Chains A and B, each alone.
Chain A
Amino acid sequence: MAEMLLRDAMSKALREALDEDDRSFLMGEDIGAYGGAYAVTRGFLEKYGEERVRDTPISESVFVGAGIGSAMIGMRPIVEVMTINFTLVAMDQIINHAAKLSYMSNGQLQVPLIIRTVTGGGGQLAATHSQSFENWYASVPGLRVVVPATPYDALGMFRSCRKDNNPIIFAEHALLYRVKGEVPEEYYEVPLGKARIAKPGTDVTLVAYSGMVRVAEEAAAKLEEDDISSEVIDLRCLSPLDLDTVIESVKKTNRVAIVEETWKTGGFSGTIASDIQEAAFDELDGPVIRINGPDVPAPYARNIEQLMIPSSDWVVKSVKYNFGL
């Protein structure tokens, strides 16, 4: 099986969309002549032309809205917002329009729009360029939120997104673009709303998504050295959320920690923790642990920036301390 960078898996996913579907086109800031801020669309403009690889002015609200409008009449746009921080500028279009049109029109309208965006911190880009808002979007009915952690999933879930008729936030973690993983030559899809057991285990369940899956896997390897067996669950999607896989795991391990990059207050880990205790209270041997970044804006200096991003050592320490392992 071929190894591929997540960046290349995304390029492949986008080329497939343009090759296979006349209704699809790409639109966003610097995706054409520049080749994409993260080089995902390098060479696309030359191959597909400027009608289908559409460089936009820096007008997030209108180019996201233009994606919505074109989807309203049957196009299948793929809009790139350079980072999730900039989606805030387009939030009215995403939440008040994209997420509402199917419902408010009583199903007369569909908005098959994929909004690709780059999420996460750790790149020393300071407070305005290091945030993760997937959890915010996941709280909005009408949106789907897809958060791949591997090249395999990025390609496989993107293929599923293309068949979905809803507005989708497809959040790619900046630090995962250079991560390599196996991607088969033959066609496959990864369904939306089906979590992945990244590593099976018996003593504790570690739930994570996006960039935190690697942290959880590293923590699991360290815990293994102390004969603590962790089951790592990669949620893959926040909406739809596969709670069943989490609950099944908790029934087996009776202990669960949720690892999430964004702030603890309002974090999606809170929703999952609440869901777990409602569904499996009697299965728990201890409190549901939430490992989130602290409630501070991301700083620039590397030493203190690293203090706000959950690390594998942090997870190991927290698991041992809270569960007395």
Chain B
Amino acid sequence: MKRSTFKEEQKVTTTSNIENMEKQEALGIFSRMLLIRRFEEEAERLYRKGLVRGFLHTYIGEEAIAVGAIPILREDDYVIGHYRDHGHALARGIDPKAAMAELCGKSTGCSGGKGGSMHLFDIEKHFMGGHAIVGGQLPLAIGIALGVKLKQLDSVVMCFFGDGAVNEGEFHEAMNIASLWKLPVVFMLENNLYGMGTDVNRSRAGGSSIYGAAEPYMIPAVQIDGMDVMAVRETVIEGVAKVREGQGPVFIESMAYRFHGHSMADPSNYRDNEEVQENRTRDPIDKFRDDCIEAGKVDGNDIALVAEQIDILVQEAREFAEQSPEPTAEDLYTHIYAEPEGN
């Protein structure tokens, strides 16, 4: 890691921060990460059974980023991201039932069965969507932030994107305008080292470390271990505060690794199994659990209890999705256009 804090001096170690945490808070973080993990595993099972179709991109291995970052935000802040969006949606508090129903193409889904896995929306929760054209959400984030600024609010916009998106022209345009107009954006780069099957070292001049790309645009940038939920959390707390003060955007590169394929259609022939296994030893959920136990915050019983609750939640989500009705033929034609103002 080149740099892990916006400040000059290095931060204290994460373990000591766990020590300063309330037990319930620690369990909350663990619980959120585990919910995403179990939800994704269930989604993969449903995909194999043919209940989830289309493209399914799971967030397994990257849970610490969403869970470290999103709960730091206020209700009036905004979250927008890419197609690997289940983790972001769940961390923002979208009902797992509505998310799973969306994956199954049901009318009770959070996008009415019209968006699918890549396009989850919950506008009431200010979850402004998973967006599936690589980099396409960056201009939208700029616009939401501009709207916030013009409305003279102090909300911030957290925009997730991957290492693939930084090679799109829109990335550079967005960075320039965000900095030029001092927009309240937290750029959250999830660098999982592969744009689909292409190693970042083969797609980017300068290699796998990307945060430096923000600096020519005068945007404060840091790089952190995205598999360490406490590191993400601390950096995001600091970054969000900076953005909320009206100083313009910040850029946080979270180094990560996705344990499963790009999507369920991934042939997994572009990276060694050894590399995957090695990264799996850095499992963000296991690490946080072990750190908490080591710090004496929680014990095995606490963990087992949370795991049991999560299993029930995910099972309920699956049952809800399976039992929900499909959209009707009429739904095909709804919401293509919005109603006129005042209607």
Are A68 and B78 interface neighbours, CB within 8 A?
A: no
Residues of B within 8 A of A73 (CB): 78, 144, 147-148, 151
17 interchain pairs, CB-CB under 8 A: A62-B139, A62-B142, A64-B139, A66-B140, A69-B139, A69-B145, A71-B147, A73-B78, A101-B129, A102-B335, A104-B115, A104-B119, A106-B112, A107-B334, A108-B124, A109-B123, A110-B338
- The answer for the CA separation of A101 and B128 in the assembled complex, in Å, is 10
Question: Which of A72, A75, A93, A104 lies in contact with B114, CB distance below 8 A?
Answer: A104
Q: A-B pairs with CB below 8 Å: how many?
A: 150
- The answer for the CA separation of A288 and B49 in the assembled complex, in Å, is 52
Are B114 and A70 interface neighbours, CB within 8 A?
A: no
B176 on interface, CB distance cutoff 8 Å: yes
Residues of A within 8 A of B146 (CB): 66, 69-70, 75
Which of B17-25, B167-175, B261-269 is found at the contact surface with chain A? B167-175
- The answer for the CA separation of A141 and B148 in the assembled complex, in Å, is 29
Given known contacts A56-B177, A61-B169, A92-B133, A105 and B338 CB-to-CB distance under 8 angstroms: no
Q: How far is the CB of B339 from chain A (nearest CB, A)?
A: 7
Question: Which of B114, B336, B337, B341 gathers most chain A CB within 10 Å?
Answer: B337
Are B142 and A65 interface neighbours, CB within 8 A?
A: yes
Residues of A within 8 A of B147 (CB): 69-75
B283 on interface, CB distance cutoff 8 Å: no
Residues of A within 8 A of B121 (CB): 104-106, 108-109
Are B143 and A68 interface neighbours, CB within 8 A?
A: yes
A203 on interface, CB distance cutoff 8 Å: no
Residues of A within 8 A of B339 (CB): 165
B180 on interface, CB distance cutoff 8 Å: yes
B212 on interface, CB distance cutoff 8 Å: no
Residue ranges of B at the interface with A (Cβ–Cβ < 8 Å):
78, 111-115, 119, 121-124, 128-129, 131, 133, 136, 138-148, 150-151, 169-170, 173-174, 176-177, 180, 334-342
- The answer for the CA separation of A108 and B180 in the assembled complex, in Å, is 31
One digit per residue, 1 when the CB lies within 8 angstroms of any chain B CB and 0 when it does not, for chain A 138-153 equals 0001101000000000
- The answer for the CA separation of A141 and B112 in the assembled complex, in Å, is 18
Question: Which of B133, B144, B177, B334 lies in contact with A62, CB distance below 8 A?
Answer: B177
Q: How far is the CB of A32 from chain B (nearest CB, A)?
A: 13
Residues of A within 8 A of B173 (CB): 57, 59, 61-62
Of all chain B residues, the one with the shortest Cβ separation from A165 is: B338
Residues of B within 8 A of A112 (CB): 338, 341
The residues in A between 102 and 155 inclusive whose CB is less than 8 angstroms from any CB of B are 102-112, 141-142, 144
A263 on interface, CB distance cutoff 8 Å: no
Are B335 and A103 interface neighbours, CB within 8 A?
A: yes
Of all chain A residues, the one with the shortest Cβ separation from B121 is: A105
Q: How far is the CB of B88 from chain A (nearest CB, A)?
A: 15
Given known contacts A59-B173, A102-B337, A65 and B143 CB-to-CB distance under 8 angstroms: yes
A265 on interface, CB distance cutoff 8 Å: no
Residues of B within 8 A of A77 (CB): 143
Residue ranges of A at the interface with B (Cβ–Cβ < 8 Å):
25, 51, 56-57, 59, 61-75, 77, 92-93, 96-97, 101-112, 141-142, 144, 163-166
- The answer for the CA separation of A111 and B147 in the assembled complex, in Å, is 13
- The answer for the CA separation of A108 and B338 in the assembled complex, in Å, is 10
Of all chain B residues, the one with the shortest Cβ separation from A63 is: B177
- The answer for the CA separation of A77 and B146 in the assembled complex, in Å, is 11
Q: How far is the CB of A135 from chain B (nearest CB, A)?
A: 19
Residues of A within 8 A of B138 (CB): 62, 65
Are B335 and A107 interface neighbours, CB within 8 A?
A: yes
- The answer for the CA separation of A70 and B143 in the assembled complex, in Å, is 4
Of all chain B residues, the one with the shortest Cβ separation from A108 is: B123
Residues of A within 8 A of B170 (CB): 61-62, 65, 92
Are B143 and A71 interface neighbours, CB within 8 A?
A: yes
Are B140 and A97 interface neighbours, CB within 8 A?
A: yes
Residues of B within 8 A of A141 (CB): 336
Are B176 and A102 interface neighbours, CB within 8 A?
A: no
Are A163 and B140 interface neighbours, CB within 8 A?
A: no
Residues of B within 8 A of A92 (CB): 133, 136, 170
- The answer for the CA separation of A25 and B148 in the assembled complex, in Å, is 13
Of all chain B residues, the one with the shortest Cβ separation from A74 is: B147
Question: Which of B119, B335, B341 gathers most chain A CB within 10 Å?
Answer: B335
- The answer for the CA separation of A67 and B335 in the assembled complex, in Å, is 20
Of all chain B residues, the one with the shortest Cβ separation from A56 is: B177
Residues of B within 8 A of A107 (CB): 112, 334-335, 338
